Amino acid sequence: MTLAPESIETFRSEWARRLRLVILLTAMVEAVGFGALAWIILRAAEPGLSWVLVYLAVVGPSSLALLTLVFRRSAHRLIDFLNGLAPRARLVSPPSPQGAFLLLDNDLVLRLQPATSFRLFFSPTGDPLSPDASEAKRWLATIRLRRVLQVTRQRGDPSLRAGLDAISSRLSSRWARLDVFDRTRIDTSHPRSPNRDAQAVFFLRDAMKSAPAIVRELDSIRELLTQAASTASVGLPRSIR
């Protein structure tokens, strides 16, 4: 399965819309501040302060231009990253304050903020779940989680630690962690609600340039998360009725 070009274009358009909104709001704030300061300086009748207005008249537009350049460069790098993952991705969510996520073809959910994380959801029978966009958004938003296992490159189950260290090294990650969470409550109104999540987090040196390496490691990451989920002891979550 390959991420459709239309999905990437939709993501790019939404990113551009948000960029225009940020620039507009920034310009409005700067205009209000400049106007208020100009009014104060002109009323003060201090000729020596006029240079402040000249300075702000130059700095204001320059800061907006710099902000636009930074956002456009970030968008270009992100689109290149999505194109690199397209052969293994099936959906990319729109940009949001919580960060975008990708649904991959092996059931993993990839998030980029603040670090690069891979999430795998499990049913009460222990089988991995393949969420759609609405399910992934809802499952990622839950805070009713209890950590039942944690592995880093220095501590934890030796077998899981070795697997995490190997993947981390191949991704050139500065730091890595593996967690398994049990959901303290399960919403029985949604039959596909997971009762366990496994997550691997990697702090990559340059995530936007790591798409080829990530693609090579996706199946290894899924295997590691599945092993971790089966290793941790199972609690008894309460149902939501």
> Among residues 187, 143, 167, which one has the least CA distance to residue 228?
167
Torsion of CA 16, 18, 22, 28, to 10 degrees: 90
Cα–Cα distance measured from residue 232 to residue 195, given in angstroms and rounded to the nearest whole number: 13
Q: Which residue has the tokens 């190997």?
A: 166
Sign for the pseudo-dihedral over CA of 172, 107, 125, 139 = positive
> Hey, how many other C-beta atoms are within 10 angstroms of the C-beta on 113?
13
pLDDT in tens, 23-61: 777 767 767 766 766 666 666 655 555 656 665 666 666
pLDDT in tens, 162-195: 999 999 999 999 999 999 999 887 666 767 889 8
> Among residues 126, 132, 135, 222, which one has the least CA distance to residue 182?
126
The pLDDT of residue 54 is 63
The better pLDDT of the pair 99, 239 is held by 99
The pLDDT of residue 208 is 84
Cα–Cα distance measured from residue 241 to residue 233, given in angstroms and rounded to the nearest whole number: 25
Q: Where are the beta strands (DSSP E) in the chain?
A: 89-92, 101-104, 109-111, 116-122, 128-129, 145-152, 173-183, 185-187, 196-204, 238-240
> Hey, how many other C-beta atoms are within 10 angstroms of the C-beta on 54?
9
> Hey, how many other C-beta atoms are within 10 angstroms of the C-beta on 92?
22
* C-alpha of 208 from chain center: 12
Q: SS3 of 147, please?
A: strand
Cα–Cα distance measured from residue 61 to residue 111, given in angstroms and rounded to the nearest whole number: 34
Give residues with Cβ within 8 angstroms of 151, minimum separation 6.
157, 160, 161, 164, 177, 178, 179, 228
The better pLDDT of the pair 233, 112 is held by 112
Omega within 30 of 0 (cis) for the link into 94: no
The pLDDT of residue 238 is 44
Q: Which residues are bridge partners to 204 per DSSP?
A: 173
The pLDDT of residue 58 is 65
Cα–Cα distance measured from residue 116 to residue 175, given in angstroms and rounded to the nearest whole number: 11
